[in-house]
């Protein structure tokens, strides 16, 4: 996963000019305030089966960011047949000690963010968990944020899942509110692809 930064605010420096005399001018420059920037190193999606069973955990860790090492991507195991799974994404910045919960920062900017779940192969679709059962899954305008997803399995299947976080996309564009990334526009904060997903 590419190491990306979010929550960057443009800040203008305030320049104060103070004259003591015609020949003695003091021009102090006040530096801009420094805003801490989150680095997205670790993306985890945990799928919990309704009614009991084994969680399926998908994780991507890229601790050196844009360094030479590829992210470590893991899938804990297969999905079971005929199950409903409630999935939830969490995002950490593990360059800090202790790790910083970037999910909280994304939540505060919910109107500017949206998660997308794109599947391939014979896997069923991943849908947004309804607002009625998922707190904080929608922004203040009633548009999806998408931290939480529902995945309903039936028969055996295989494929991949790409979890993408878009920034300042168009949530009102065609089919975007239903999870279709095609017309979402905006910038990609991260996109993680998990291969070898199995329902068995």
Place of tokens 């059962």: 133
Give the pLDDT score at 28.
Answer: 61
Q: Please, which pLDDT band fits residue 54 given cuts at 50, 70 and 90?
A: very high
Summary mean pLDDT of the chain: 85
Is the alpha carbon torsion for 102, 127, 192, 7 positive or negative?
Answer: negative
pLDDT digits (tens, 9 = 90+) for 10-29: 333 333 334 444 555 665 66
Put simply, whether the predicted model's pTM sits higher than 0.95 gets the answer: no
Give the pLDDT score at 158.
Answer: 98
- Secondary structure of residue 102 in the 3-state scheme: helix
pLDDT of 64 strictly over 90: no
Q: Residues near 32 by Cβ (< 8 Å), separated by ≥ 6? A: 11, 12, 13
d(CA 136, CA 129): 10
Q: What is the distance between the terminal CA atoms of the chain, rounded to a whole angstrom?
A: 28
Give the pLDDT score at 120.
Answer: 98
CB 182 within 8 A of CB 114: no
pLDDT digits (tens, 9 = 90+) for 73-129: 999 999 999 999 999 999 999 999 999 999 999 999 999 999 999 999 999 999 999
């Amino acid at each position: 996963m590419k190491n990306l930064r979010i929550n960057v605010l443009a800040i203008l420096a305030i320049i104060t000019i103070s004259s003591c005399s015609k020949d003695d001018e003091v021009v102090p420059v006040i530096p801009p305030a420094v805003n801490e920037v989150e680095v997205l190193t670790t993306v985890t999606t945990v799928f919990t089966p309704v009614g009991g069973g084994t969680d399926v955990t998908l994780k991507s860790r890229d601790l050196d960011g844009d360094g030479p090492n590829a992210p470590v991507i893991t899938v804990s195991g297969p999905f079971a047949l005929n199950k409903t799974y409630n999935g939830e994404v969490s995002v950490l910045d593990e360059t800090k000690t202790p790790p910083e919960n970037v999910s909280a920062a994304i939540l505060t900017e919910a109107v500017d963010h949206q998660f997308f779940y794109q599947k391939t192969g014979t896997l069923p679709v991943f849908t947004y968990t309804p607002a009625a059962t998922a707190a904080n899954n929608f922004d203040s305008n009633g548009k999806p944020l998408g931290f939480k997803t529902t995945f309903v399995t039936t028969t055996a299947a295989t494929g991949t899942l790409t979890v993408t976080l878009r920034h300042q996309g168009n949530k009102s564009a065609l089919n975007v509110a239903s999870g279709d990334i095609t017309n979402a526009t905006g910038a990609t904060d991260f996109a993680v692809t998990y291969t070898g997903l199995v329902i068995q």
